[in-house]
């Protein structure tokens, strides 16, 4: 029973961490930047604005499940993947305030260019510990790559 409680507590902590980053991003940027974003010139392959919220909600849930699976590993084996996860999560958290809050498409582009290799390392480390944990992060890596391409295109169109 104690082990179940520990696992459930860890899962709740992972969910709170990941969705907390999403909430902070929303508070620090997405709401204030929605009108500004609507006025930007965007490439024709830009998804409608309503797509981003549901996609990120699913991705944050998958991120939480992935980090939870790694957290359940023995302490000495989980340190590097957890640190890598924290680094990529911090870069993820910085993007929305940079792009929407400050309207700094250029700084957001630098941030996401740093996020991609940090995330790729995290996926690789997670894969080494638990294949399903790595697989859970692959859609996030693909979406972040798409977001980087979109960020770049918006920067070029509006520079």
Q: What is the mean pLDDT of the chain?
A: 92
CATH class of 2-158: mainly alpha
pLDDT tens-place string over residues 80-134: 999 999 999 999 999 999 998 889 999 999 999 999 999 999 999 999 999 999 9
Q: What is the DSSP string of 71-129?
A: HTS-HHHHHHHHHHHHHHHHHHHHHHIIIIIS--HHHHHHHHHHHHHHHHHHHHHHHHH
Q: Where are the domains of the chain?
A: 2-158
């Amino acid at each position: 029973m104690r082990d179940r409680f520990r696992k459930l507590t860890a899962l709740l902590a992972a969910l709170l961490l990941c969705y907390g980053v999403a909430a902070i991003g929303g508070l620090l940027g997405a709401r204030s930047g929605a009108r500004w974003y609507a006025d930007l010139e965007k490439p024709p392959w830009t998804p409608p604005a309503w797509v981003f919220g549901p996609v990120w909600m699913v991705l944050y849930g998958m991120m939480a499940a992935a980090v939870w699976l790694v957290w359940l590993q023995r302490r000495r084996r989980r340190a590097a993947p957890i640190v890598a996860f924290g680094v990529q999560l911090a870069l993820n958290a910085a993007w929305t305030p940079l792009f929407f809050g400050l309207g700094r498409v250029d700084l957001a582009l630098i941030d996401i260019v740093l996020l991609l290799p940090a995330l790729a390392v995290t996926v690789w480390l997670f894969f080494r510990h638990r294949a399903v944990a790595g697989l859970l992060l692959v859609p996030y890596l693909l979406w972040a790559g798409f977001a980087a391409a979109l960020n770049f295109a918006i920067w070029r169109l509006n520079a």
